[in-house]
Amino acid sequence: MTTTTVPVPQPITLRIQDFELSGLLAIGDEQRPRGTVLALHGGGARAAYWDNPLDPDGSLLRLGATLGWTVFAPDRPGYGASAGLDRAWQGVDAQPALLSEALDRLDVPLGDGVVIVGHSLGAIVGLRMAARPPRGDLIGYAAAGFPLLYTEEQIAGMALLDVEGPYARRPAGAPSQMTADDWFGPEGTWNAELRSLSRQLLARVPAAEFLAARDAPAQTAEIAAQVRLPVHWTVSEHEATAAEPDTILAQAARIFPAAAVLELHKQRDSGHNISLHHAARAYHLRVMAFAEECRLRAMP
């Protein structure tokens, strides 16, 4: 009987432009990876979102590397080592070129192509990369938690936030429209001990990118119409940060007319932060199956 050694994600810091970009890197085959997954965390999160500290089996980094892929989860510009970065670099239109440069700086083989896996605000950045590819080796785009539509209450709540400073913040005395539990599903679908790991998992949301999340319903269809890559779109069964799941899926089905493939999926037993739920492994397995299909499609 043989045992499989699960690759452990390693912290990494890259020099990009005139600043440092931190993140996590997991490598399955240093000589010839099957491909590379670029995993983009959401607003207010960190790279550790993709490597649940309480559940190694729920880690996209470890699963992808075990399957022979390189998985790179950067702290996106404005997070981690680049917290406080100039506002001009934090916007979602500036990030694609920076993230593409980061891939080149990894100094490891990228394999047979790069699949973007984005969550929430990271999926907004990923959509721009998929629509206007900053490189020629992108072969697929997977999104989850994308804020495609909002309820009236959610729109009103975002309008209260102050975005004049470096970070989006709620003015003193302004009513809160959401609680921490809105980012997760019902009790029992995630480990409540994650609350004690907020320093490792969470960060303040740069105001420059929050604007893209706020305006996503008005901007996304035009951008999505330009995507020609295969697309995998997931919404959580218990999504509470955007409109209800079936409405989101119906809208997603309409906005990708040029996508080579469009897969729509509702992840059961999960809230917004899918990769921190007990259902994370099920979701990640679907994402990696999609990545394999993208790889096959891209091969000569």
pLDDT in tens, 27-57: 988 789 999 999 999 999 999 999 999 999 9
Signed CA dihedral, 171, 174, 177, 178: sign only: positive
Q: What integer best gives the mean pLDDT of the chain?
A: 94
Written as one letter, the residue type at 249 is L
Q: Which two tokens stand for residue 64?
A: 């992808």
Q: Could you state, in order of their start, the residue ranges of all structural domains in the chain?
A: 10-298
User: What does the CA dihedral 57, 61, 64, 70 come to, rounded to 10 degrees?
Assistant: -160
Helix (H, G, I), strand (E, B) or coil at 17: coil
Q: Which two tokens stand for residue 49?
A: 């979102």
| Residue pair 48/201 in contact by the 8 Å Cβ criterion | yes
Q: Which two tokens stand for residue 78?
A: 């404005």
pLDDT in tens, 240-268: 999 999 999 999 999 999 999 999 999 99
pLDDT in tens, 136-168: 999 999 999 999 999 999 999 899 999 999 999
CATH level 3 topology of 10-298: Rossmann fold (3.40.50)
Range 59-65 average pLDDT: 98
Per-residue DSSP letter, 217: H
Helix (H, G, I), strand (E, B) or coil at 286: helix
User: Model-level pTM?
Assistant: 0.96
Written as one letter, the residue type at 186 is P
